[in-house]
């Protein structure tokens, strides 16, 4: 891997996530993701001034996995056992 790929390109003043030069979004918790996932989970709701992830051409296409799953989709041991 190119060491340049891990350098921070930008840090959002609205939510403090960082986006690397290779467009990986580093969330506070969990695996790195995409700008689309960041938008689906944070930016569309946050609406704070200074958000760096509002340009559709940079966000790209959202996938089904970008959104949080609904509670109905989660399988919780002990609750769904029949």
Tell me the pLDDT tens digit for each residue of 20-79. 988 899 988 889 999 999 999 999 988 899 999 999 999 999 888 888 776 666 666 666
Q: Which residue has the higher pLDDT, 2 or 32?
A: 32
**pLDDT above 70: residue 81:** no
Hey, is 25 helix, strand or coil? strand
Cα–Cα distance measured from residue 74 to residue 6, given in angstroms and rounded to the nearest whole number: 33
Name the residue with higher pLDDT: 23 or 6: 23
**Residue 53: closest CA among 80, 15, 79, 21:** 15
């Amino acid at each position: 891997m190119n060491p340049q790929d891990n350098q921070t390109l930008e840090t959002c003043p609205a939510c403090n996530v960082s986006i690397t030069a290779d467009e990986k979004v580093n969330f506070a918790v969990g695996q790195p993701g995409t700008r689309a996932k960041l938008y689906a989970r944070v930016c569309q709701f946050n609406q704070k001034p200074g958000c760096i992830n509002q340009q559709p051409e940079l966000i790209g296409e959202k996938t089904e996995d970008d959104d949080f799953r609904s509670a109905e989709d989660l399988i919780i041991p002990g609750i769904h056992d029949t």
